[in-house]
Amino acid sequence: MDPASGDENGTLDWETIARTHGARVFRVAYRILGSTQDAEDVSQDVFLEAFRVYQSGSVQSWVGLLVRLATLRALDHHRRKRPSVSLSERDCQSAHDPAGRIVKAELAEGLRRAVSTLADQQATVFVMAFYEQMSRDAIAKALDISPEAVSTSLYKARQRLSKVLHISREESHR
């Protein structure tokens, strides 16, 4: 168990929280946004909000709080503007298999757009399961929901994302 999660019902100092979870917050934001600069901006916002929570009292699970904040703020950011990475930049990086690289980049971008269409809880659960590779029980504990609720959210998220990716691909082939 990650002692910095706060699950031990202890009151952690801010330094421990920042050092332990800084990378995680950035990682979540980056994987949603695909842009280092945007991820840095969102990460700062997340820690500012988290600091206010920290000042107001103890937190059951810092993992749950921070991943959820990072997910929601990153999604807000994504919905306001498109990520700045352009496909043409990625083209230049793999000349020996341009078609494969472009397809993969499109997939990643498509997934980012699709995740922004999910309901907040589905998005958070999806990010925790697939981007952070957390187990169902760990997610349930972090978000303080039942494991069954995690499974249901994940199932719905996968359904929705698969559908959106499929439709997006169909439209791009027309």
Partner 1 sequence: MSAENPFDESELDDAVAEILVDPLDQAAMERVCNRALNIPKDKALVERNPMTSASRIQPPRWLRIGGLASSFAASVLFVIWLSSLVTSNALAEIVEHVMQIRSVKFAYRLQYFDETRQSGTTMIRDGMMRIENQFSGHTLVSLVDLKRREGLMLDDERKLVQEFSGQQLTGLNSINPIRELIAAKDKSFKSLGSDSIDGKTVDVFKIRGLSIMGIGGEAEMTLWVDTTTQLPVKIDMLDADPKSKTQITFDQFHWNPVADADSFAMKIPNGYQDAEIFTVPELESEASPESQDLKQGVLFAGRVPSQVEVDYKRGTVTALLREQESSSVRRVNELRQWDCGSGELLWSAEVGGAGDFAVCPAKNLLAVVLGKEIQLRKLSTGEIVRSWASNHLLGCVAFDDGGSRLAHGYIEWARPANSAPPTGGVEIWNVDTGRLEHDIEHLDRVDSVEFAPSSHSLLVSSTNFKCRLYNSETAELEYSLLGRNATFSPDGKHLAMVSAKTSPNKSIGRVDLVSVDAMQVVRSFVTGKGDDDSYLLSLAFSADGSSLVAGDWNGTLSQWEVASGESTSVFEPLPAGVHCVRFAPSNQLISGCEDAILRVHVLTQ
Q: Which of 2, 18, 82, 94 binds partner 1 (CB under 8 A)?
A: 18
Asked whether position 102 contacts partner 1 by CB under 8 A, the answer is: no
Cα separation, 6 vs 128, in Å, equals 17
Asked whether position 78 contacts partner 1 by CB under 8 A, the answer is: no
Q: Which of 83, 112, 123, 138 binds partner 1 (CB under 8 A)?
A: 112
Q: Which of 3, 58, 104, 137 binds partner 1 (CB under 8 A)?
A: 104
Locus of tokens 């504990």: 141
Q: Mark out the alpha helices in the chain (DSSP H runs).
A: 14-33, 36-56, 62-80, 87-93, 98-115, 120-126, 136-143, 147-173
Q: Which of 25, 63, 123, 139 binds partner 1 (CB under 8 A)?
A: 25
Asked whether position 62 contacts partner 1 by CB under 8 A, the answer is: no
Residues binding partner 1: number (CB under 8 A)? 63
Cα separation, 106 vs 9, in Å, equals 43
Cα separation, 69 vs 66, in Å, equals 5
Q: What is the DSSP code (8-state) at residue 3?
A: G
Asked whether position 2 contacts partner 1 by CB under 8 A, the answer is: no
Q: What is the DSSP code (8-state) at residue 4?
A: G
Is residue 136 within a helix (H) or strand (E), and if so which, with residue range? helix 136-143
List residues binding partner 1 (CB under 8 A): 14-15, 17-19, 22-23, 25-27, 30-31, 34, 36, 39-41, 43-45, 47-49, 51-53, 64-65, 68, 72, 76-77, 79-80, 104-105, 107-108, 110-112, 119-121, 130-131, 143-146, 149, 152-153, 155-156, 158-159, 161-163, 165-166, 169
